[in-house]
Structure 1
Amino acid sequence: MEEQGKTFDATDLRILAILLKDSRTPLQEISAAIKLSTTSCWNRIKRMTDSGVIEAYTVKLDLARLGYHDTVIVQVTLDSHSDETLYEFGRALESMPEVLEALLISGDYDYFLRIAVKDTRDYERLLRERLYKIPGIRHSKSSFVLRTLKKAETPLT
């Protein structure tokens, strides 16, 4: 793997795999697992953080335990592709915490949204009160996720 002219080796990838499983893994445990001194291990982590390979340390939430039992995939087509329309659509989505992910895509639709909702009534409310009030939406198509077969944040996992 290479990032901005810097090469990352198998040891770096092993460190990243450990951090992906649990970003709170103590440095001593990471060092022991990869058979490297804590100083060398820390230097590698710092280099990957400074170069932007490690963007953030975060937590994964079980959305169902928080009451969000359903995930909806929404494909959206906009009326216009002007910079202003795209900007305003993006701003509107940022204000909607239920929207977990928004991707600008190629093909028949313009956007692919992943939305967390409590149930179908919650989704219907979200459509009426928030999503369909965003100017410029020409068409949307919704699909409820029945089961997640694989979920990875990176090809390393």
Structure 2
Amino acid sequence: MDLDSMDRRILTVLQKSGRISNAELSEQVNLSPSACHRRVQRLEKEGYIRNYVAMVDPRRIGLPTMVFVEITLSGQADELLEAFEREVARVPEVLECHLMAGSADYILKVVARDTDDFARIHRQKLARLPGVQGMQSSFALRTVFKTTALPV
């Protein structure tokens, strides 16, 4: 299914306010509540809307340190990549993992309490992942902006 302009408006609003009521959503996109509800259900069923989540403030829960870690593996065999991906997904401090083209094989987005906590995560978890040959870590000094909203 192709998205029309109404679907895009619905997605734009829901990405910014996922808990909005159907009545409020229908008003914002200028559509009847029943038609709006049907469209949202279709967007969910067809996989355009994968989930609804709460965005937790990492500072409020004691995880203010954001680190981007470039990982280089010892090889590129499918078995090694699969083993690495399976195990890195089990590290709760890793928020994102991206297979890369370029100098690093993967880039991870990691949260920690502070630099000592990151050193622990690095030593006890990341360095022990299958096939890790090298790591380069970059600490975020300040988040300039952050969004999860895609430009629909």
Tell me the residue number matched to 1:138: 133
Q: Kindly provide the amino acid, as one letter, of the partner of residue 73 in structure 2.
A: L
Q: Kindly provide the amino acid, as one letter, of the partner of residue 104 in structure 1.
A: L
Describe the SS at the equivalent of 2:98.
strand
| Offset of residue 63 of structure 1 | 0.7
Sequence identity of aligned pairs in percent? 36
Gaps of 5+ in 2: none
- Residues 1:19 and 2:14 aligned together: yes
| Offset of residue 70 of structure 1 | 0.5
**Distance between the aligned counterparts of 2:15 and 2:94, measured in 1?**
23
1:25-64 aligned within 5 A: 25-64=20-59
| Offset of residue 66 of structure 1 | 0.5
| Offset of residue 139 of structure 1 | 1.0
- Residues 1:118 and 2:99 aligned together: no
Q: Kindly provide the amino acid, as one letter, of the partner of residue 11 in structure 1.
A: M
Q: 2:72 aligns with which of 69, 77, 92?
A: 77
How many residue pairs end up in the alignment? 152
Describe the SS at the equivalent of 2:60.
helix
Tell me the residue number matched to 1:3: none
Q: CA RMSD in A?
A: 1.2
Which structure carries more relative contact order (alpha carbon 8 Å, separation 6+)? 2
Query: TM-score, length-normalised on structure 2?
Result: 0.95
Tell me the residue number matched to 1:10: 5
Tell me the residue number matched to 2:123: 128
**Distance between the aligned counterparts of 1:75 and 1:84, measured in 2?**
20
Query: TM-score, length-normalised on structure 1?
Result: 0.92
| Offset of residue 94 of structure 1 | 1.4
Gaps of 5+ in 1: 1-5
1:63-102 aligned within 5 A: 63-102=58-97
